[in-house]
Structure 1
Amino acid sequence: METLEGLSEALETAGDIRSIVRTMKSLSAVSIHQYEQAEAALADFEHTIELGLTALLHDRRAHGRPLPETAPGKGGEALIVIGSDRGLCGRYNETITRFGADRLGDQAVFLAVIGARAAARLEAEGHTPDQSFALPGSVAGLTSTVQAVILEIDRWIRTEGVARVRLVHNRRQGRVNADPHERRLLPIPKITLARLADADWPGPGLPFFRMPPEQLLSWLVRQRLFVILYRALAEALASEHATRLAAMQRAERNIEERQDDLTAAYRRKRQESITRELLDVVAGFEAVSTPDETHEDHHDDLPKP
């Protein structure tokens, strides 16, 4: 049976939880904006890398050379999955791990996971990650995380003969906060190279370069890899916080409804308590006053002297 004290404590607890939810909503809203800005900031750099590839491919064509191979491995495959380190973000990790597991199938694929919760889910499904990375806690940590992943890709290529690397992550798409998306990191698709080779140069003449073409190609491919990973990681983190924001909004509505129910129950219980106390006072008054009236009645019956 609910008591006034119990209802009062429940109301206080609900208020505390609501304050926490509001704080998490504010943090997620701010984080979404920061990661979206970080992702957009690299758009110009990505365009610069594509211009460099365009100049290099034009030079190769002028010398009668075919489109280059951008992954020197022997044929191995690798998959990188970006998930989450933290909870309270709905089905964010479930969505991306299921999407990634479908692309793994029964193949022998090297697997790297960014995000402890996604790694745990994949391992529970029988896909043990070969390498795991923690998600950065802020925009400032994006660069170091991306560099660590690139070093792992380099190791795969050198020691494991990996020639194809794919990336899966969630991103915001319209009203959907966690829409799974796949990108090929290596090799650069032939259709992309052909598009860049056929692109018109925006200036009056092609630039020249002194660096050996193969060395320049390697550097441009690495920079393109950095940009794609950086933007994908920023998109994934913005998606995570958007999913968490939506979850917190639903939680806040549920808490408000719970608070309304508790407040109504508290008022009813308080009114019952007040009514019971008044009845006790009335009953006590009647119990005290009744003997006096009886005594007065007996006194009137006594014979007069």
Structure 2
Amino acid sequence: MTDSIASLRHKITSAKDLQSVVRSMKTIASSSIGQYEKAVHSLDDYYQTVQLGLVACLSANTHSAELGRPLAIVNRSQKNVSGAGVIVFGSDQGLVGQFNEAMVEFAVESLAKLPGEKTVWAVGERVQSRLLDTALKTEDSFALPGSIHTITALVGNILIELEAKREQGVIDQVFLFHHRPESDSIYRPVCQQLLPLDAAWQRNLEGIHWPTNNLAEVMPNQDQTRRAFVREYLFVSLFRACAESLASENASRLAAMQRAEKNIDELQENLNQTFHRLRQSDIDEELFDVLSGFNALN
């Protein structure tokens, strides 16, 4: 009986320690969600500004129908290339529920509908390990940023890698797969075509209303200005995808920690009830022994 009570004491102490860890991780996840969501919202205005700059470039170019090829950053001598580069954002750390599994399942299902060969880069070790279990051709993974300030370096490395594969004639399309946060700590997987910047992309831009009655004028060099806006468009698209993925990851971790905290509370309640029951039984047994000895003396 004493060994059982000692074992329960140890389990109760361990449950309290685990609960403290879970609460700390909840706090970290909550604060991280805030900074990444703030970064996403702050990018909205900048993204809109870049789109308006591209709208101005399109309206200023009398040969806008030909704009898709130079904007697509595809070598004209490689028109027969039909490969796709795929960037899949996941997590480096665990305790995120089905975050990585849901992303890999969505990516595999979506890529199965696309023709041609696919080259996949993972952003995050955990999602990389899940992708290795699929039939997709995977390259070395990118390290996931630990904060907003390190996303810029990641985006630069991704663009360099994509440009290298483009120069080698391996890819002519680029797709982004990531989770997008929604209300109440909910997220969903999404797919975005980053390249080429084709006619459909240009039609979407043409549907954007210019905010003033003044006509936009691109100067002094239209081609140079247009390419600068394209670079910013690629950068902000990747940056926002990464920030949205990190916000979703922390939302998933927060939900997982909330479930874990609930389970720990239930476990503690059961352990405490069992401990008090065994302790009371032990006390009753000791009292019975005292009464039995007293009766024997009488």
Judge same fold: TM > 0.5, yes or no.
Answer: yes
Report % sequence identity. 36
Aligned pairs for 1:127-276 within 5 A: 127-175=136-184, 177-197=186-206, 199-203=208-212, 204-211=214-221, 213=223, 215-276=224-285
Give the whole-Å Cα distance in 2 for the aligned partners of 1:273 and 1:13.
23
Match of 1:54 in 2: 55
Where structure 2 has 5 or more consecutive residues not aligned to the other structure, the ranges are none
Query: What is the identity, as a one-letter code, of the residue corresponding to 1:135?
Result: L
Distance in structure 2 (CA, Å) of the matches to 1:94 and 1:116: 13
SS across alignment from 2:262 = helix
Give the Cα separation in 2 of the matches to 1:181 and 1:210. Answer: 38
Per-residue deviation, 1:107: 4.1
Does the 8 Å CA contact 1:79/1:166 hold for their aligned counterparts?
A: yes
Q: How big is the shift at 1:280? A: 1.6
* TM-score w.r.t. length of structure 1: 0.87
Work out the CA distance in 2 between the residues paired with 1:199 and 1:138.
Answer: 33
| Alignment CA distance shift 1:56-1:270 (3 Å) | same
1:208 is aligned with what amino acid? V
* Matched-pair contact (CA < 8 Å) for 1:67–1:193: no
Report if the CA contact (8 A) 1:57-1:67 is conserved: no
Letter in 1 for 2:42: A
Per-residue CA deviations over 1:184-227 (Å, capped at 9, x if unaligned) read 001124233124346554342322312351x3333221210111
**Structure 1: segments with no counterpart, 5+ residues:** 291-305
Of 82, 88, 92, which residue of structure 2 is paired with 1:85? 92
* Structure of higher CA gyration radius: 1
**Which residue is 2:107 aligned to?**
100
Give the corresponding residue for 1:126: 135
Deviations 1:69-103 (A, max 9, x none): 22214332111100111111111000001111223
**Separation in structure 2 between the aligned mates of residue 178 and residue 268 of structure 1, nearest angstrom:** 44
**Which amino acid is 1:130 matched to?**
E
Distance 1:194 1:271, change over 3 A: same
Indicate conservation of the 8 Å contact 1:32/1:238, yes or no. Answer: yes
- How has the CA–CA distance of structure 1 residues 66 and 125 changed in structure 2, closer, same or farther, with 3 Å as cutoff? closer
Aligned partners of 2:116 and 2:209: how far apart in 1?
Answer: 41
Please list the CA deviations of residues 147-197 of structure 1 after superposition, one character each: whole Å capped at 9, or x if unmatched.
Answer: 111111111222235221001111223457331100000112423312434
Q: TM-score, normalised by structure 2?
A: 0.89
Q: Residue 117 of structure 1: which of 126, 136, 152 is its match?
A: 126
Q: CA RMSD in A?
A: 1.9
